[in-house]
């Protein structure tokens, strides 16, 4: 809602408020710590109630933004709100710019990767205003149920099987969704009216994709790293694994819109390519760790055709093996 001339200063005012709040909190904590009896920490902790109340009350009286109203189709209310905020009657130029920007945004974000695109498809199926909520419920339900598949099968079918099966399933779904959207949306991002049967098919592929991720790369991306590292470095190694995961999540979030603008439906094919790369890596370089005790995991790497060159030789006699149920891995 800030006028563009003052938007930078007003945004920095937000950071200023944060730094002032931190300073005030530190000062209060300093004096609360001097209270006899050692109960001052209760004031430090409980005192957070007051700024929280201010935020809640402010949220109740905070005016709705014209942009939000335009996004929800409340054009008349948005114009009146813009007049009130700007303090002038003639807001036609800015209002028209806001409407145009909203329409452009809808076209650009019409094609989105899997989870983000689901609300549009569910809306065309007939869920109406509850499309976003329903998409979250459906994909969330699929996600939960598919995770149970992984819980059931990871120690029966093995890690590699789930990795490779899930990768193949995600690859097929990415191609199917990308091709379907390319057929209807083209490069303009404007699909017109999607037939109900067409949306149902695409939503089905989305759910199949979500299920594949939920029982393969989703949980196994945390499981396998946690079991392959030696005890002395396991905590540090898993911390690196989490950090890399978060780093790539951050990077994708930052570049996604730019990639979307340039690649359109090709973004699905872009991610499908990397699913293939990851699956090939698992097939060639990741050994099966099912049923292997953590303390014996080094044997798996010592016997691997590639990784053994990086490990010290231990007792690799033919009689040595790792007991795994009824199977002995030499």
pLDDT band of 34, cuts 50, 70, 90 = confident
Which sign, positive or negative, has the C-alpha torsion 35, 36, 41, 47? negative
In angstroms, rounded to a whole number, what is the distance separating the alpha carbons of residues 189 and 111? Answer: 7
In angstroms, rounded to a whole number, what is the distance separating the alpha carbons of residues 135 and 156? Answer: 32
Least confident of 111-120, 141-150, 179-188: 111-120
What DSSP state is assigned to residue 124? I
Average pLDDT over residues 177-186: 78
pLDDT at 104: 44
Residue 164 has pLDDT above 90, yes or no: yes
pLDDT band of 323, cuts 50, 70, 90 = very low
Please write the tens of the pLDDT for every residue from 211-247: 888 788 877 777 788 778 766 676 788 789 888 878 8
For 165, residues 6+ apart whose C-beta sits below 8 A from its C-beta are: 212, 216
Phi, psi angles (nearest 5°) of residue 256: -60, -50
Which residues are bridge partners to 322 per DSSP?
329
Asked if 225 contacts 237 with a C-beta cutoff of 8 angstroms, the reply is yes
Least confident of 79-88, 118-127, 264-273: 118-127
Averaged pLDDT score across all residues of the chain: 74
CA-wise closest residue to 285 among 261, 313, 264, 308: 308
Q: List domains and CATH numbers for the chain.
A: 6-62+104-303 (1.20.1250.20)
Average pLDDT over residues 204-214: 84
Question: Torsion over CA of 216, 222, 226 and 229, rounded to 10 degrees?
Answer: 80
Q: How far apart are the first and last CA of the chain?
A: 68
pLDDT band of 57, cuts 50, 70, 90 = very high
In angstroms, rounded to a whole number, what is the distance separating the alpha carbons of residues 291 and 294? Answer: 9
Average pLDDT over residues 267-280: 88
Average pLDDT over residues 119-129: 53
Tokens read off for 201? 């098919």
Q: Which of 124-128, 168-172, 181-185, 321-325 has the highest mean pLDDT?
A: 168-172
pLDDT band of 168, cuts 50, 70, 90 = very high
Asked if 175 contacts 269 with a C-beta cutoff of 8 angstroms, the reply is yes
């Amino acid at each position: 809602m800030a006028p563009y001339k003052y938007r930078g200063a007003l945004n920095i005012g937000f950071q200023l408020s944060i730094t002032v709040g931190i300073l005030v909190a530190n000062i209060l904590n300093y004096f609360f710590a001097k209270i006899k009896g050692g109960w001052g920490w209760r004031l430090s902790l409980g005192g957070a109630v007051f700024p929280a109340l201010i935020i809640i009350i402010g949220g109740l009286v905070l005016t709705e933004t014209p942009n939000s109203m335009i996004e929800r189709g409340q054009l008349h209310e948005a114009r009146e709100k813009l007049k009130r905020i700007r303090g002038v009657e003639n807001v036609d130029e800015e209002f028209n710019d806001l409407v145009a920007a909203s329409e452009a945004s809808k076209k650009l974000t019409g094609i989105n990767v899997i989870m983000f695109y689901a609300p549009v498809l569910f809306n065309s199926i007939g869920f109406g205003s509850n499309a976003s909520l329903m998409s979250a419920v459906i994909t969330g339900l699929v996600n939960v149920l598919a995770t149970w598949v992984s819980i059931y099968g990871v120690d029966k079918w093995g890690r590699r099987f789930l990795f490779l099966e899930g990768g193949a399933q995600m690859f097929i779904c990415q191609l199917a969704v990308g091709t379907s959207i390319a057929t209807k949306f083209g490069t303009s991002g404007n699909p017109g009216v999607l037939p109900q049967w067409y949306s149902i098919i695409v939503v089905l592929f989305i759910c199949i994709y979500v299920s594949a991720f939920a029982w393969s790369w989703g949980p196994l991306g945390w499981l396998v790293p946690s079991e392959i590292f030696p005890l002395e470095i396991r905590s540090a190694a898993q911390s690196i694994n989490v950090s890399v995961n978060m780093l790539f999540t951050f990077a994708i979030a930052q570049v996604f819109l730019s990639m979307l603008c340039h690649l359109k439906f090709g973004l699905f094919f872009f991610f499908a390519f990397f699913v293939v790369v990851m699956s090939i890596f698992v097939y060639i370089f990741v050994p099966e760790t099912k049923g292997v005790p953590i303390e014996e995991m080094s044997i798996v790497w010592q016997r691997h055709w590639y990784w053994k060159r990086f490990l010290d030789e231990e007792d690799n006699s033919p009689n040595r093996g790792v007991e795994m149920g009824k199977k002995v891995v030499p």
